[in-house]
Amino acid sequence: MTILGSILSDIREKTPLVHHMTNYVTVNDCANITLCIGASPVMAHAEEEVGEMVALAGSLVLNIGTLDHLQIDRMFVAAKAAEKRGIPIILDPVGAGATSLRTKTAHRMIQELSISVLKGNAGEIGTLAGKQAQVRGVDSGGVTGDPTDITCVLAERLGCTVVMSGPTDIISDGSRTLLCENGHPLMGRISGTGCMAASVIGSCVAVTQNYLSASVTGIAAFGIAGERAASEAAGPGSFKYRLFDNMASVTSDDVDRCARTRSV
């Protein structure tokens, strides 16, 4: 078994708690995909308890998809509590580049917090890297420049793992960069797959300090589930419930055999 497969095995053996502070559009999907990979989700957001809750967790997932100032304050409380305990933080900067609130908040988070994994689409990652990027609502309209270089340079600058999602996912810690080609176009036909990917990565980083391998494992396993769901689905609706089924049934051996990853 490779390190990728062993990470999935560890999740299912240890059932780590993954604390989410996420958006109300996809919160239920994020909880369910976390359960399907074998971890345990919690969605606490009250300022009075986020610090206490994150102390029990293996990772903290921050998602700015439905942002307001109260949520921002609570996210920083949770993140500071996570930092004190060495708990990894995954940031999904949904819509960064679309509005000034989202963009400024995401920039503040990467500047002031110890982010372990930054996961976003090309427009979001490009925006945070200071490149010309297009974001339509929460969807990527592309980025100017080479996406692989942008991901690698941003990872090196921030000292964290950066995941740029797309038809080919790019994962870099600034020293090593890998491409993952698992997935299916139907994953872009339903809401929430980007948010769910962050939850899957959050489950993986909860059981290892190798955040690059954890991110590759999560992206590959989720993509494999998407491929299998698409082969069984009649359309987006049936694809969605089959995505959960297949995420639950993906094995460590599946990840080792079916992950289409390569170094660049």
Binding residues: 43, 119, 165, 192
- Angle at which helices 100-112 and 69-84 cross, to 10°: 10
Query: What distance in Å separates the CA atoms of residue 63 and residue 55, rounded to the nearest whole number?
Result: 19
The residue behind tokens 């297949």 is 246
Those residues with Cβ within 8 angstroms of residue 64's Cβ, 6 or more apart along the chain or in another chain: 23, 71, 72, 75, 92, 93, 94, 95, 96, 102, 105, 106
Ramachandran angles phi, psi of 155, nearest 5°? -60, -45
Query: What distance in Å separates the CA atoms of residue 194 and residue 124, rounded to the nearest whole number?
Result: 12
- Which pair of tokens denotes residue 4? 């990728």
Q: Which amino acid is at 261?
A: T
Task: Please report, in range form, the residues annotated as the binding site for substrate.
Answer: 43, 192
Burial of 149 (0-12, 13-18, 19+ CB in 10 A): middle
The residue behind tokens 């997935």 is 183
Question: Is there a contact between 221 and 7 (Cβ–Cβ < 8 Å)?
Answer: no
Burial of 142 (0-12, 13-18, 19+ CB in 10 A): middle
Task: Please report, in range form, the residues annotated as the binding site for ATP.
Answer: 119, 165
User: How long a stretch of residues is the chain?
Assistant: 264
Other beta carbons within 10 Å of 39: 25
